Amino acid sequence: MKKRVTSFDVAERAGVSRSIVSAVINGTKGIGVSEEKRRIVLEAIKDLNYQVDANARGMRTGRSRCLAAYDNFESKFFLPILQGLKNVCTKEGYYILLYDSGDAEKDREGLVEMYLQRRIDGIITKDSTSFVDSDWAHEIHSRGVPYISVEGYPENNQVPSILMDYAGSIVMALDYLQERGTPPPLYIEMYTGPAYSPNWGDRQRRTSYENWMSIRGHKPQVVSVQDDSWEQCGARWVEWLRAQTLPITLLTNWSRGSINIYKAAYQLGLRVGKDLFVMAADNTEQVNEHLIPSLTAVEVPYEKMGELAAERMLEYIEGSRKLSDTSSITVSPKLMHREST
């Protein structure tokens, strides 16, 4: 069996001490390493094909260099957030452990146990903007676990959160439509469940729409629609659109609402982008650019939010930011001009 290469071998090849090799590999603070020595050590590592023993390094540093990403794997939002996490973690030499929440909010205690076992260094969760769990926040703080929520805890300073500027997204959409010269828009507000109970993000959107319209002397027109399958609600969408005066501009809080408008327009022989102008305030369905005509939208920058979550997490882990700093980060939406307006 071929002898395993160790850090002693690297030190001998490079002609330096083992502490210098360790400093180069681990980025150890307090040990000055010149660029020339760093270059020689890295060349020796490459020549010998040296692989760091992750378990041994973890015992020395107390870190696993692994972050837990928690969400329902069937969620449309998880993949772009995960891509953002990967962008940062790959660059900084961290791994990502995927932890599936399943169809419902599963007990998160397993995440805390993994942290206490030093299998992960921190936890990042994707939550809805209505998610607030004080017991979970208390557990995290009492255990000293680095934790960040993407979109959760929007009105609660217990937990650092990465949030989109939902109010600003509507202002961006309305300013854009005004510049395009379309009629003042109706706001189509989709909601889930039998009772109308919008989450924080949708409350921000609606209030922003109503304020923008009122300030400019327009009467806000909001149509609230319970989300349902096309088979269940399609006829209502067709009849509603048939009753409208054309041309008309429709701004939907969810792209799913815009898709229903497209279907109704098709059945009525109306042309999106000509007879009616349609714009969405999100990219929930991840199909905006693939519709015909492609759908103009202000979209939630989930990949960027994932990057910011990872960057903030590494600040906590590396000690450049205290865990007591639970300030949130607000991200601007992306305006995507396409053919529907």
Are both 279 and 321 inside the same structural domain?
no
User: What is the number of other CB atoms lying within 10 angstroms of the CB of residue 150?
Assistant: 27
Question: Mean pLDDT for the chain?
Answer: 90
- Write the CATH number for 24: 1.10.260.40
Q: Is residue 59 part of a domain?
A: no
Are both 187 and 252 inside the same structural domain?
yes
Are both 237 and 265 inside the same structural domain?
yes
User: Which tens digits make up the pLDDT trace of 37-91?
Assistant: 888 988 888 888 887 655 555 555 567 899 999 998 888 889 999 999 999 999 9
- Rounded CA-CA distance 165/299 in Å is 11
Are both 289 and 227 inside the same structural domain?
yes
The 248-252 sheet, strands edge to edge: 222-226, 186-191, 248-252, 276-280, 296-299, 334-336
Burial-class residue 183 by CB neighbours within 10 Å (0-12, 13-18, 19+): middle
Are both 205 and 112 inside the same structural domain?
no
Q: Is residue 257 part of a domain?
A: yes
Supply the pLDDT for residue 106: 55
Supply the pLDDT for residue 180: 96
- Rounded CA-CA distance 102/71 in Å is 8
User: Which tens digits make up the pLDDT trace of 275-331?
Assistant: 999 999 999 888 999 999 999 999 999 999 999 999 999 999 999 999 999 999 999
For residue 27, the one-letter residue type is G
Query: Which structural domain range is residue 32 located in?
Result: 7-52
Are both 192 and 139 inside the same structural domain?
no
Q: How large a percentage of the chain has pLDDT more than 70?
A: 93
271 touches 250 (CB < 8 A): no
- Rounded CA-CA distance 42/337 in Å is 47
User: Which tens digits make up the pLDDT trace of 190-243?
Assistant: 999 888 999 999 999 999 999 999 999 999 999 999 999 999 999 999 999 999
Are both 182 and 279 inside the same structural domain?
yes
Radius of gyration of the chain (CA): 26
The 95-100 sheet, strands edge to edge: 95-100, 66-71, 122-126, 147-150, 161-164, 329-331
> With 70 as the cut, is the pLDDT of residue 102 above it?
no
Q: 3-class DSSP state for residue 294?
A: coil
Supply the pLDDT for residue 132: 92
Supply the pLDDT for residue 46: 85
User: Which tens digits make up the pLDDT trace of 137-161?
Assistant: 999 999 999 999 999 999 988 899 9
46 touches 14 (CB < 8 A): no
Q: Following CA atoms 306, 309, 311, 313 in sequence, which dihedral angle do they give, to the nearest 10 degrees?
A: -140
Residue 227 in tokens: 């989300």
List the one residue out of 124, 127, 107 whose CA is nearest residue 69: 124
Q: 3-class DSSP state for residue 272?
A: strand
272 touches 252 (CB < 8 A): no
Q: Is residue 293 part of a domain?
A: yes
- Rounded CA-CA distance 61/117 in Å is 14
| pLDDT classification of 165: cutoffs 50, 70, 90 | very high
Are both 144 and 194 inside the same structural domain?
no
List the one residue out of 48, 325, 274, 332 whose CA is nearest residue 160: 325
Residue 289 in tokens: 């650019």
Supply the pLDDT for residue 104: 47
Q: Is residue 250 part of a domain?
A: yes
Residue 10 in tokens: 């690297």
| pLDDT classification of 27: cutoffs 50, 70, 90 | low
Are both 98 and 128 inside the same structural domain?
yes
DSSP 51: -
Q: Is residue 2 part of a domain?
A: no
Q: Is residue 1 part of a domain?
A: no
- Write the CATH number for 97: 3.40.50.2300
Count structural domains, the chain: 3
Q: Is residue 341 part of a domain?
A: no
User: Which tens digits make up the pLDDT trace of 259-290?
Assistant: 999 999 999 999 999 999 999 999 988 899 99
User: What is the number of other CB atoms lying within 10 angstroms of the CB of residue 58?
Assistant: 16
